[in-house]
Amino acid sequence: MRFVAVVLCVTMLAGCFGYNSSAKKWAYVGDSLLILGGGGALAYGIEDKPTACEGAGCPYHSEIRGGMVAGALLIGAGLFGLLFNATREYVKSSR
């Protein structure tokens, strides 16, 4: 799961950007999928808690896990892509 989360974060960190009307529509779809996937990864990271341990020999478990970090990055990339698409002008091609 951690490897998949890292690969998703690296490949989709920049979000989706459109350069014309059709590409912007699909970029909005891609950005929405990034946000939904990030929400799923974040929910998995919150629910994936280690078993409770009491006593002196218990190992330390951080409250921030990989799924939570991956989810936050994917949600951030999707939101950045939505904002960038909303404010970006269409690129005029010479066709």
Structure tokens at 59: 């190992």
pLDDT in tens, 26-40: 888 888 888 999 999
Residue 18 to residues 28, 57, 91, 94: CA-CA distances in angstroms?
Answer: 8, 54, 9, 17
Going by C-alpha positions, the residue among 15, 2, 4 that lies closest to residue 74 is: 15
**15 pLDDT exceeds 60?**
no
Average pLDDT, the chain: 78
**10 pLDDT exceeds 80?**
no
pLDDT in tens, 45-80: 888 777 777 778 888 777 778 888 888 988 998 898
Select the more confidently predicted residue: 7 or 15: 7
